[in-house]
Structure 1
Amino acid sequence: MKTHHIKIAAMAALALSALAACSGPSDPKAPSRENFEAGLRSFLADGNGEVCLAMYDWPIDLTEAEAGANARHAVQLPVFEKLGLVKSTIVPVPRSDENPDGAIKRYALTDEGRKYYKAHAHKGRDGSTHANDLCVAQISVDRVDSWDLDKQQSSAAVSYTYHIAAAPWMQDPDASRVLPMVARVIKGADGSLKMRQGFALTDKGWVAVPGAV
């Protein structure tokens, strides 16, 4: 009877030891949900989760030609003014084909609009650089859904669902109308839309990398 008790105690000790080993630190180089989610949290919190509008430099001038052609700024800026984010003034300029009446409409950020003008470094294809952008939402990771590894298992394309914190004025129907892609991303936070992010395997583990996947 005594020997039986000793065997049970030994087996219990081994089981606890195995459980402790399983719950220890995971391998950062393993292609696991845990590692990819940790990498995404860090990457998105470091400014890469911002949803921005490529409106880098203010004030923005709207020519008569742009207004007549319903260019992007001609559609969006009047709505932003209605929402209190910008204020417009008429500025005289030399007459030209773009400004036959010799005037442009200049939009400047209001105090409210400047709340959304954030540090957000960007380098264009032409080599131009910008330090700031008008940003309207912040994405954070909900859960990694799946991942695809390359043949060398040194890079991965990770698919994930997300949470989003959007500017309150994005609830305005006109804001959704003139920013349809942003509105789609906001709606997709219900799980109907998944984001994809590239990862590279480094000496320290899996690291998210900027750029299209």
Structure 2
Amino acid sequence: MRTRQGFCLVLSLVTVTAVAGCTGSAKPQGAATPAASATTAGSAPAATASSEAPVPAESNPPGDIPDNQAYVAYRSDPGGFTVKVPEGWARADASGGVTFSDHLNTIQVAWQPAAAAPSVDRAKSQDIPALQRSQPAFTLTKVTAVTLPGGPAVLIESQENSPPNSVTGKQYRLDVLRYVLGKGGQQAVLLLSSPVGADNVDPWKLVSESFRWR
């Protein structure tokens, strides 16, 4: 995934906020379809996302993160958090969010002010309907209250289509985890996505459990 000046992301802050004025930095990676709508450029417009049919999952999906992958701590002063991310992944910064990606795997943290703490009830009544309207072929798996080392969170698990590859038009079916955390009037959404069938349970556990408010 290549990042450059003028590269803009659509950041899904569970409330699906569009962010403008983006900048990108980091190592270019091999071109691939970006993973997950919380972190992708060129996401499907809301008018088409809800009516899009799920694409078939790959029988031998790409996207397993290697067992020997090294991780580094990333610190966000605007967001007020730290989180561990895989070393060498491409990074793209936006106003209100940051994305790390490698081929079809994506990590994103997006933040915004919030008047109330995250809750399962609010996720069901507000966040999930917004995601259903905006994310391509969004299918909810489940929503639960969880406790991370960094604090309580609401976990929204879903499957979604990736945006079409800009060259081939190919799409992938993605497993998407959205952890919604809050502290002191600030909300953060930690999104982790990879192709359906990819074995990234341990890497995603490491990343989610590394999140800390500062």
Normalised to the residue count of structure 1, the TM-score between the two structures is 0.23
The structure, 1 or 2, with the larger RCO (C-alpha pairs under 8 Å, 6+ apart) is 2
Bigger proportion of residues as helix: 1
TM-score (norm 2): 0.23
Identify the structure with the greater strand proportion: 2
